[in-house]
Amino acid sequence: DELAVATSGTAERGAHIVDPRTGKSAVTDLVAVTVVGPRLTWVDCWATAAFAMGSRAGLAWLESLPGVEGLLITAGDEVRCTGGLAARLG
């Protein structure tokens, strides 16, 4: 099966992700979210949405999406990932 990978975060473009709930820049505890899944368009959208949600809500939401895995990096250099990805990484 072919998979797509997309990352959203602040490294390249700074604080450019907008929180749709506030209309302002997303202020979260994350610096990056990488998502792996079946379609590039969707994994790009999901990575951006999970970033705007923050690490706890974003990770929980990614866990609920079938066939999708994610890796989140916090501002404190903590790495969190979905259960399926953690199992694959060993």
For 44-54, the pLDDT digits (tens) are 999 999 999 99
For residue 26 the two structure tokens come to 């997303």
For 21-35, the pLDDT digits (tens) are 787 777 678 999 999
* Alpha carbons 58 and 34: distance in angstroms, whole number: 11
Q: Residue 4: exposed, middle, or buried by beta-carbon count in 10 A (0-12, 13-18, 19+)?
A: middle
Locus of tokens 């060993």: 90
What is the number of other CB atoms lying within 10 angstroms of the CB of residue 38? 13
Q: What is the pTM of this model?
A: 0.87
**Any bridge partners for residue 15, and if so which?**
none
Q: Domains in the chain, please, with CATH?
A: 6-89 (3.10.520.10)
Tell me what pLDDT residue 14 has. 64
Locus of tokens 């390249």: 12
* Alpha carbons 54 and 39: distance in angstroms, whole number: 23
